[in-house]
Structure 1
Amino acid sequence: MQARILVVDDELDIRVSLSGILEDEGHTVMEADSGEAGLTAMAGKEIDLVFLDIWLPGMDGLAVLERLRQEWPDIPVIMISGHGTIETAVSAIKNGAHDFIEKPLSLEKVVITANKALEFSKLKRENRDLRSRVKTDVVQEISGSSGAIASLRAQIDRVAPTDAWVLISGENGTGKEIVARSLHVKSRRAKRPMIAVNCAAIPEELIESELFGHEKGAFTGAEQAQRGKFELAHKGTLFLDEIGDMSLKTQAKVLRILQEQSFERVGGRKTLNVDVRVIAATNKDLPQEIQAGRFREDLYYRLKVFPLEVPPLRLRMQDVPDLLQEFVALLSREHGFKPLSFTPEALRRLQSYSWPGNVRELKNFVERMLIMYAGDEVGPEHLPGDVEAPMAGGHERGVGWDDDFKNARARFEKDFLTQKLEQCGGNVAQTAEQVGLERSYLYRKLKGYGLI
């Protein structure tokens, strides 16, 4: 495999020799004549392997190794040791070095050691990615066969291979993170990490450190330097979840970094350059937040290169049976439950419930049913009371209608438009054409009923 390799040694002959050997193997080699220069060369670069001399002027190899393990723990380091320093080299391995080679250098030993280190690093990344996929329930694509979801998947397939930034909006529990993961998995950056930041869960006083990292001693408790999410996402994807909950102060700093793709760590002076694709998600109406003075308009338009809207479950009720089946299989496998099934009447009732918590609520409901009725058939009599309430406006014909004609007409109108909007995959223009209404008038209607 071709790799980018950094050689840190104060002896020119050693650097030239190693560079020649490694470049003959097809690798790209960078050189540094001191520990300090080596660390500078690492910043903002995509390095796959480091050859590091133990004896260096100024900052010695062991001190450099400690910094490398703190800031770039996944990059293997091969120590270069001279005669009489084997004990030191072994000590270095205990402190995190992958291997060591002795001077004078052997061409065969250099090639074999480098290949083993690169292969080990590759396997480590693959194992981490596999664990990550298992941890996230192996869901890499939003499920459903409705027109709304088919349209969303088509948009994901179109934008994923590009580097365009994406702003995902939708209610809580609709699957915005799954959409973000799908975009990353189908992108050219799929082999690099997707780093997620929950902007709503991090205290304002810590979010800068989380995003940009910090240097040792930058604030009380900063006992060692730490890379931030932007740096960890270099060459990969940065997922800013619930971006609408970020403070205006932090929004200003994030905007500058997004524009320049460079920043300094908290307490640091060195400028770091990164290459990240940004995917942001929010459950808020950002234009409304802008009007209220809670979100920066320039940041909104910087993020909204390609907007994606994840529809709520109530607008794609035909997906409920498929989602139920998927969650039954997933949770049965995960927790060792015997699968269960639902009677047609139970399914009908579940499709008439509004699911205000969306897909997340549906998954939690399935887990509850499995705990209580694993291996059984679930009928309407088994359904808990909180999911039997019909969808707003979902009364059966002739039952429970308002005495007021105006209210009854509004209820029918909302049901009708909900169904038509779903059939058109959430496309307002297509819906307007199908129902014979002017687009702007229909848009106001949909907005008034809370359907968009």
Structure 2
Amino acid sequence: MAKILVVDDDPSFNEMLSSYLRRQDHEIEQAFSSQSALAAFKTKSIDLILTDFKLPDMDGLELIRIIKDEKPDMPVILITNYSDVRTAVTSIQLGAFEFITKPVNPDEMLLTIGQALQEKTTSTAAKPKTIKKASGSPEYVIGTSPQSLDLWQHLQLVAPTKMTVLILGESGTGKEYAAKMIHEKSKRAKAPFVALDCGVLSKELAASELFGHIKGAFTGAVQDKKGAFENANGGTIFLDEIGNLPYEVQVQLLRVIQERKVRRVGSEKEIDVDVRIIAATNENIAVSGSQSEFRTDLFHRLNEFELKIPALRERKEDLNEYIGLFLRQACNELEREVTGLDAEAQSIVQHYSWPGNLRELKNVIKRAVLLSTGELITPAQLPHELANEEVLSTTDTIADNAASIQNAINGTTGTDLKALQEKNEKQLILETLEKTKYNKSKTAKLLNIDRKTLYNKLTKYQIEI
């Protein structure tokens, strides 16, 4: 049982929250203004503060600022409206543990309160601009760019629902982190979160990994095995690189989504499953669907709600926050005391295009921390290619694209848009292969696709290396 201070100037809403929390065996102290809240905070033994943003004498942000100045480890949860996402972000920057939105979801509120009370015993003051989850969970950067704030707002909206979510973004943008956050903010947070990379599944093994198999179903099946859907029952399954899923397995997945039943490979028995599906891809599978590579009906089933994670180069305003996060993580893991980057190193990372996105940035920072001999990272600890990146001008890029399109048009007959698109794609792959001296890993990186997708396209276009 914890003693919670509920701060809201609306008597009916304050009483409703207080009564609900009392029924959950918490001891409640009520305050109807910031000043009365501060008086209770200073004179009574409070474990957690739940405050509304709009208060008559000072707003919730100022109240958080004062509380955190006096007692940095006091967990504060802000109640705000969906439209006040910038306010909510500011509250996290000031040290609030989390914010919840109106109308308040009781289960979400209880979960957040439980996480805050659990962390209070072990955590120090909250770090700015990141959300800290329960022990063992990753930190999440919200960001300050318009794209990141929109993403955060949409994530908050969809997380408490039952909707299937499709996350779009280049490789390394953090699609799995977004999926985990949706899970942690949902009513399924205490149930399993199972992630499966469809990009590495062969046609033969995909059905077994997803739906399981029985003993003797195929050579090597020496015992019964549960699939990812059964393991995620009651919780969330994250299907990464869904665009690489074999067509035959897409049919089976569609059936599972429609009927909420799975059938293990080799079995006739159907097993009920209650699983929320979050899928992700770095390809435009809506276009692929029209080309019969990805089922259109499956795409629409998965795309009840779409989240687009922008590339790091499109939101450079967030770069320093991610550097700070990865720097802390690397220092903790490697037991170093590096505090930041010097001016020259900072300039290099700011001007680099980060084709590998957050994954590349994290690796670069970790490597630099390991190599660093002082408190600051210098250019000597950064990979050589960062400072010597060959960047095409906008004019050259436009000219190259126009030439490629014109070449494709000249080589096709009529107005076959599909043939035009395929020829243009094949030409781009061939040109990129030549530039990288037929290095498939570098080619996939430059094209912003994974190696499995590249291999599939090499087979499709009959490109031999």
User: TM class by shorter-chain length?
Assistant: 0.5 to 0.7
Secondary structure of the structure 1 residue equivalent to 2:307: strand
| 1:389-404 superposed matches below 5 A | 389=388, 392=391
Q: Is 1:168–1:307's contact at 8 Å kept on the other side of the alignment?
A: yes
CA distance in 2, matches of 1:388, 1:136: 37
CA distance in 2, matches of 1:264, 1:410: 52
Secondary structure of the structure 2 residue equivalent to 1:174: coil
Q: Is 1:321–1:347's contact at 8 Å kept on the other side of the alignment?
A: no
Secondary structure of the structure 1 residue equivalent to 2:279: strand
Q: CA deviation at 1:264?
A: 1.5
State the partner residue of 1:353.
Answer: 352
TM-score when scaled to structure 1?
0.56
Q: Is 1:167–1:279's contact at 8 Å kept on the other side of the alignment?
A: yes
Secondary structure of the structure 1 residue equivalent to 2:293: coil
Note closer, same or farther for the CA distance 1:180–1:142 as it changes in structure 2 (3 Å cut): farther
State the partner residue of 1:370.
Answer: 369
State the partner residue of 2:209.
Answer: 210
1:388 aligns with 2:353: no
State the partner residue of 1:302.
Answer: 301
Q: CA deviation at 1:139?
A: 1.9
Note closer, same or farther for the CA distance 1:409–1:189 as it changes in structure 2 (3 Å cut): closer
Total equivalences in the alignment: 272
CA distance in 2, matches of 1:142, 1:303: 26
Q: CA deviation at 1:275?
A: 0.9
State the partner residue of 1:194.
Answer: 193
Q: Is 1:168–1:176's contact at 8 Å kept on the other side of the alignment?
A: yes
CA distance in 1, matches of 2:378, 2:330: 20
Note closer, same or farther for the CA distance 1:410–1:152 as it changes in structure 2 (3 Å cut): farther
CA distance in 2, matches of 1:295, 1:409: 30
Secondary structure of the structure 1 residue equivalent to 2:237: strand
Note closer, same or farther for the CA distance 1:174–1:334 as it changes in structure 2 (3 Å cut): same
Q: Is 2:142–2:152's contact at 8 Å kept on the other side of the alignment?
A: no
1:228 aligns with 2:227: yes
CA distance in 2, matches of 1:335, 1:385: 22
State the partner residue of 2:16.
Answer: none
Note closer, same or farther for the CA distance 1:186–1:266 as it changes in structure 2 (3 Å cut): same
Q: CA deviation at 1:284?
A: 0.7
State the partner residue of 1:138.
Answer: 137
| 1:31-50 superposed matches below 5 A | none
Secondary structure of the structure 2 residue equivalent to 1:323: helix
Note closer, same or farther for the CA distance 1:383–1:225 as it changes in structure 2 (3 Å cut): closer
| 1:16-27 superposed matches below 5 A | none
Identity among equivalent pairs (%): 40
1:74-116 CA distance string (max 9 Å, x none): xxxxxxxxxxxxxxxxxxxxxxxxxxxxxxxxxxxxxxxxxxx
State the partner residue of 2:181.
Answer: 182
Q: Is 2:141–2:322's contact at 8 Å kept on the other side of the alignment?
A: no
CA distance in 2, matches of 1:293, 1:408: 30
CA distance in 2, matches of 1:341, 1:207: 44
State the partner residue of 2:291.
Answer: 292
Q: CA deviation at 1:271?
A: 1.2
Secondary structure of the structure 2 residue equivalent to 1:235: coil
1:331 aligns with 2:330: yes
Note closer, same or farther for the CA distance 1:176–1:374 as it changes in structure 2 (3 Å cut): farther
CA distance in 2, matches of 1:408, 1:293: 30
The letter for the 1-side match of 2:197 is N
The letter for the 2-side match of 1:314 is R
Secondary structure of the structure 2 residue equivalent to 1:191: coil
| 1:206-285 superposed matches below 5 A | 206-285=205-284
Q: Is 2:199–2:242's contact at 8 Å kept on the other side of the alignment?
A: yes
CA distance in 2, matches of 1:309, 1:300: 15
CA distance in 2, matches of 1:377, 1:365: 14
CA distance in 2, matches of 1:275, 1:318: 40
Question: Which structure ranks higher in relative contact order (CA pairs < 8 Å, sequence separation ≥ 6)?
Answer: 1
Q: CA deviation at 1:318?
A: 1.5
Q: CA deviation at 1:380?
A: 4.0
Q: CA deviation at 1:345?
A: 3.3
Q: Is 1:142–1:178's contact at 8 Å kept on the other side of the alignment?
A: no
The letter for the 2-side match of 1:330 is Q
CA distance in 2, matches of 1:407, 1:310: 27
State the partner residue of 1:169.
Answer: 168
The letter for the 2-side match of 1:283 is N
TM-score when scaled to structure 2?
0.54
Q: Is 1:244–1:286's contact at 8 Å kept on the other side of the alignment?
A: yes
CA distance in 2, matches of 1:383, 1:192: 41
1:335-387 CA distance string (max 9 Å, x none): 21222421233212211110000010000101111121153323345543211
CA distance in 1, matches of 2:211, 2:310: 33
The letter for the 2-side match of 1:290 is G
Q: Is 2:212–2:265's contact at 8 Å kept on the other side of the alignment?
A: yes
Q: Is 1:212–1:265's contact at 8 Å kept on the other side of the alignment?
A: yes
Unmatched tracts of structure 1, length 5 or more: 1-125, 127-132, 395-401, 412-449
The letter for the 1-side match of 2:272 is N
Note closer, same or farther for the CA distance 1:278–1:391 as it changes in structure 2 (3 Å cut): farther
The letter for the 1-side match of 2:140 is E
State the partner residue of 2:34.
Answer: none
1:158-183 CA distance string (max 9 Å, x none): 10000101000100000000000000
Secondary structure of the structure 1 residue equivalent to 2:195: strand
CA distance in 2, matches of 1:264, 1:306: 27
Note closer, same or farther for the CA distance 1:279–1:136 as it changes in structure 2 (3 Å cut): farther
